């Protein structure tokens, strides 16, 4: 194709040259049917066609192909590298996300375990506290309403003084309403009055204080006689204060039995044993 165009181009080129050198001969030859400029234009057009259709230099073409191929390979390599980088980044992100998720799950499990242990401990402590409170309340109620020994009158043997001390400790400062009974009636049947506050008027014959830091409930003792001649032995949980022998006092106390003491004549005297927390 290119060779054919070269032949036509040559003919047109020389014809155009001839038309320029000898116009009269050109016009006579073509009888003015063809203009000289047509040959010139045809020559230019054929030159352009030859330039377009002419085969390129093999080395240049190979270099061009190689350049295009290299460019394509570089582009593909860049695409592959970008894809690989994105894949690696996604994999790393997923790995970090999975690691973070696992760590958070472990942390949550640890926190849940700590919370569960704390809740269990709190529940046990609450149950223990409740049980202790119930036991304390039961013990307090039992102390307020002791089971008196009514079969043994001897206050040193029946354990009633200890029960009375615990009862008064449980009652504390709670106000009580004492009854007034003749001391002789109480002396005759003390078991009928266990746990009941009774008011007595006493002429003090003996008063004795005991060490305040001792473990014993008894902090003082007052012995005296009531108007009806009954001798009282009062064990107090508080000191005697300014009470002196010969004083007449009024005291609210709880009967706990009878005590026998030696008298100066060699015999024994029975006394009504009482417990109080106020003098």
What's the rounded mean pLDDT across residues 239-268? 92
Give the DSSP letter string of 179-232. Answer: B---HHHHHH-GGGGTT--EEEEEEEEEEEE--TTSSSS--EEEEEE-TTS-EE
Domain stops at, among 55, 71, 94: 55
Q: Is the pLDDT of residue 62 over 70?
A: no
Does a structural domain hold residue 75? no
Q: 3-state DSSP: the chain helix, strand, coil percent, rounded to 5?
A: 55, 20, 25
Domain limits for position 26: 2-55
Which of the four pLDDT bands, split at 50, 70 and 90, describes residue 74? Answer: confident
pLDDT tens digits for 189-222? 999 999 999 999 999 999 999 988 877 899 999 9
Torsion sign over Cα 6, 7, 11, 14: positive
User: Who contacts 177 (Cβ-Cβ below 8 Å, separation ≥6)?
Assistant: 197
CA angle 54, 56, 61 (to 5 degrees): 155
Give a yes or no: residue 15 inside a domain.
yes
Of residues 65 and 210, which shows the higher confidence score? 210
What's residue 69's pLDDT? 73
Please report which confidence band the pLDDT of residue 230 belongs to, taking 50, 70 and 90 as the band edges: very high
Report the CATH number that the domain containing residue 202 is assigned in CATH.
2.40.50.140
Q: Identify the pLDDT of residue 5.
A: 64
**Within a domain: 121:** no
Q: Give per-residue pLDDT as tens, 26-35.
A: 666 665 555 6
- Answer with the residue of higher pLDDT: 169 or 24: 169
What are 251-261's pLDDT values in tens digits? 999 999 999 99
Q: What is the pLDDT of residues 112-141, one digit of tens each?
A: 999 999 999 999 999 999 998 888 888 888
| 33 within a domain of the structure (yes/no) | yes
C-beta separation of 69 from 32 below 8 A = no
In a domain, 190, yes or no: yes
Residue 23 included in any domain: yes
- Between residues 71 and 145, the one the model is more confident about: 145
Using H for helix, E for strand and C for coil, what is the string for 13-62? HHHHHHHHHCHHHHHHHHCCCCCHHHHHHHHHHHHHHHHHHCCCCHHHHH
Model pTM?
0.57
State residue 45's pLDDT score: 72
In terms of Cα–Cα distance, which of 189, 201, 199 is closest to 227?
Answer: 201
Q: How far is the CA of 197 from the CAs of 36, 76, 178, 216, 276, in angstroms?
A: 157, 109, 5, 22, 9
Q: How many domains does the chain have?
A: 2
- Asked which of 18, 34, 55 is the last residue of a domain, the reply is 55
């Amino acid at each position: 194709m290119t060779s054919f165009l070269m032949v036509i181009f040559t003919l047109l080129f020389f014809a155009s040259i001839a038309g320029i050198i000898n116009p009269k001969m050109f016009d006579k030859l073509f009888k003015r049917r063809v203009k000289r400029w047509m040959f010139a234009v045809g020559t230019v057009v054929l030159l352009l066609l030859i330039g377009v259709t002419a085969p390129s230099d093999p080395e240049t073409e190979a270099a061009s192909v190689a350049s295009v191929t290299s460019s394509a390979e570089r582009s593909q390599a860049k695409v592959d590298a970008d894809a690989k980088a994105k894949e690696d980044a996604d994999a790393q992100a997923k790995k970090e996300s999975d690691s973070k998720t696992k760590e958070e799950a472990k942390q949550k499990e640890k926190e849940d375990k700590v919370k569960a242990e704390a809740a269990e401990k709190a529940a046990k402590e609450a149950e223990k506290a409740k049980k202790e409170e119930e036991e304390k309340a039961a013990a307090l109620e039992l102390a307020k309403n002791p089971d008196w020994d009514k079969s043994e009158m001897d206050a040193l043997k029946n354990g009633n003084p200890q029960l009375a001390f615990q009862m008064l400790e449980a009652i504390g400062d709670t106000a009580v309403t004492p009854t007034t009974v003749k001391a002789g009636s109480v002396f005759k049947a003390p078991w009928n009055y266990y746990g009941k506050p009774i008011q007595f008027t006493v002429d003090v014959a003996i008063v004795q204080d005991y060490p305040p830091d001792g473990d014993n409930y008894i902090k003082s003792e007052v012995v005296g006689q009531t108007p009806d001649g009954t001798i009282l032995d009062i064990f107090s949980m508080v000191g005697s204060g300014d009470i002196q022998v010969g004083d007449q006092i009024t005291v609210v106390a709880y009967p706990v039995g009878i005590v026998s003491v030696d008298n100066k004549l060699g015999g024994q005297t029975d006394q009504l044993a009482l417990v109080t927390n106020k003098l």
